[in-house]
Amino acid sequence: MKKTLLVLTLLVAIAIGFNACRQTYENGPIISFRTKMSRITGKWKLVSMEGVPRLNPEIDQYMELTKEKISDGVYKAKFTNFQWRICDNQSNDTNIVSLFTSEGSWAFQSVSFFTGTDYEDLADNEGLDITIDSIQNFYHVLRWKITRLTNKELILYMVFRWEEACGPYNDFVKMSFKKC
């Protein structure tokens, strides 16, 4: 009886473990024994950017996502030499692109994501909201779809910024990062 109970308990633990470790993101990993939180937190160096030209590829650009909690499910972030399209209030010019350093925040999301032609419901923690504090007196909130998250690699995808006429980019953007 004890042996049967032990085997049953072990099978339930294995089933729960595999369910927790299953693939969430379309580009893997297929299985991971690290939580999404432990994989995403850390300092990430921008490796490549598709959809828009990189302003200055010689300058290293970083995004640091911490476990330091701001509120329920929202954590501190820092952006160093990050490339962004900025709104100019005086001229209404949305084509001012610069590198900046700023504080901000991040949060996992499980909501709808604009794919360019339609909306897609994201799976549990498949979305990533990044808030960048006060660039030219604006707070920018971006919703990204995570397509790959390993302990060393992060790939984010975004299409057209909704809600703001003066968003960061107006097309498809894919950013690839490596953990430092």
**Residue 10 domain-assigned (yes or no):** no
Does residue 74 register a pLDDT over 90? yes
Give the mean pLDDT of 25-50: 81
Query: For position 53, what pLDDT does the model report?
Result: 75
Q: How confident is the model at residue 24 (pLDDT cuts 50, 70, 90)?
A: low
Give the mean pLDDT of 139-156: 86
Q: For residue range 80-114, what is the model confidence (pLDDT) as tens digits?
A: 998 766 555 555 555 556 787 889 999 998 877 76
**Residue 158 domain-assigned (yes or no):** yes
> Domain residues for 84?
35-179
* Domain count across the chain: 1
**Residue 26 domain-assigned (yes or no):** no
**Residue 19 domain-assigned (yes or no):** no
- Supply the CATH number for residue 40's domain: 2.40.128.280
What is the value of pTM for the model shown? 0.73
Q: Are the C-beta atoms of 47 and 39 separated by less than 8 Å?
A: no
**Residue 93 domain-assigned (yes or no):** yes
**Residue 45 domain-assigned (yes or no):** yes
3-state secondary structure the chain: CHHHHHHHHHHHHHHHHHHHCECCCCCCCCECCCCHHHHHCEEEEEEEEECCCCCCCCCCCEEEEEEEEEECCEEEEEEEEEEEEEEECCCCEEEEEEEEEEEEEEEEECCEEECCCCEEECCCCCEEEEEEEEECCEEEEEEEEEEEECCCEEEEEECCCCCCCCCCCCCCEEEEEEEC
Q: What percent of the chain has pLDDT over 70?
A: 62
Does residue 13 register a pLDDT over 50? yes
Q: Is the pLDDT higher at 167 or at 176? A: 176
Q: Is the pLDDT higher at 52 or at 58? A: 58
Does residue 18 register a pLDDT over 50? no
Query: For position 20, what pLDDT does the model report?
Result: 44
**Residue 172 domain-assigned (yes or no):** yes
**Residue 151 domain-assigned (yes or no):** yes
Quote the mean pLDDT of the chain: 76
